[in-house]
Amino acid sequence: MGLLPARAGSIRLHGKDLTRCPTHERARAGIAYVPQGRGVFPYLTVRENVLMGLEAEPPAGASRSTVPATARDMARGPGAERVEEMYALFPILRTMEQRRAGTLSGGQQQQLAIARALIGRPSLLLLDEPTEGIQPSVIDQIEELLMSLRAQRSVSILLVEQFLDFALGIADYCYVMEKGEIVSQGSPEGLGQDVVREHLSV
């Protein structure tokens, strides 16, 4: 996301080199990020938080969209339709749309953070520890959503996760990292769980 400079290598998306691009350009290129700990705007309402995801839309005439570039402009018309799409994915958000996001439970905030990321229709979704501090019922809902997105092939997903069964149940391909180095990789079926658990054990 451009929060830290790359020490080596390059980051490319759809043939475009994003290695030195600022965060907002990466977002407009089609990358959406759900941070560890959710990162919702606590004093904005649920609806306002969802609409903030539309700020990543490029200006009119840009390559990814021709709709207005601000959440305020998007709050009506196409923006309202997109909000309804997110409420269909996460019905609990509809019932709480006028509540401040900071008053929601951890699981509800996680659903809100994912909705905020998806409303911009990204081509790449980055998820950082989405199961952290979340009750099992919400984890099941998130897993079901990610499996649906995977089946639709509408968005690529890069998932960072320590909940091994959750990650292996969703992933097409896995990398195991230890101290910033890749120590093992492969398909979920081909990746030895004993090896994975050895590196993930505390």
Average pLDDT over residues 56-60: 66
Q: Tell me whether residue 84 is in a domain.
A: yes
Q: Tell me whether residue 154 is in a domain.
A: yes
Determine the residue type at 160: V
What pLDDT score does 65 carry?
42
Residues 152 and 201 in one domain: no
Residues 193 and 127 in one domain: no
Q: Tell me whether residue 18 is in a domain.
A: yes
Determine the residue type at 64: R
CATH number of the domain enclosing 125: 3.40.50.300
Residues 177 and 120 in one domain: no
* Cβ neighbour number for residue 143 with a 10 Å cutoff: 17
Determine the residue type at 59: P
Question: Is 83 in a helix, a strand, or coil?
Answer: helix
Q: Are 26 and 125 in contact (CB under 8 A)?
A: no
* Cβ neighbour number for residue 123 with a 10 Å cutoff: 14
Tokens of 96: 């709480």
By mean pLDDT, which of 27-36, 56-65, 186-195 is the weakest?
56-65
34 DSSP β-pair partners: 127
Q: Work out how many domains the chain is built from and give that number.
A: 2
Angstrom distance (rounded) from CA 132 to CA 53: 22
DSSP strands (E only) in the chain: 12-13, 16-17, 31-34, 124-128, 156-160, 174-178, 181-186
Residues 133 and 184 in one domain: no
How does pLDDT run across 98-126, given as a tens digit for each residue? 999 999 999 999 999 999 999 999 999 99
> What is the chain's Cα-based Rg?
18
- Domain of 18? 12-171
Residues 106 and 143 in one domain: yes
Q: What's the pLDDT band for 68 if we cut at 50, 70, 90?
A: very low
Determine the residue type at 159: L
Residues 153 and 188 in one domain: no
Residues 202 and 144 in one domain: no
Q: Tell me whether residue 71 is in a domain.
A: yes
Strand 156-160 and strand 124-128: the pairing is parallel
pTM of the entire predicted model: 0.84
What pLDDT score does 94 carry?
95
Average pLDDT over residues 39-58: 90
Q: Are 140 and 112 in contact (CB under 8 A)?
A: no
In the DSSP assignment, the letter for residue 1 is -
Residues 98 and 142 in one domain: yes
- Please determine, for residue 135, whether its predicted confidence score (pLDDT) is greater than 60: yes
Residues 103 and 142 in one domain: yes
Who contacts 124 (Cβ-Cβ below 8 Å, separation ≥6)? 13, 30, 31, 32, 155, 156, 157, 158
Angstrom distance (rounded) from CA 149 to CA 58: 23
Residues 92 and 178 in one domain: no
Residues 117 and 185 in one domain: no
Share of residues in the chain with pLDDT > 90 (%): 50
- Please determine, for residue 90, whether its predicted confidence score (pLDDT) is greater than 70: yes
Reference 47, options 14, 106, 95, 103; nearest CA is: 95
Q: Tell me whether residue 20 is in a domain.
A: yes
Residues 154 and 190 in one domain: no
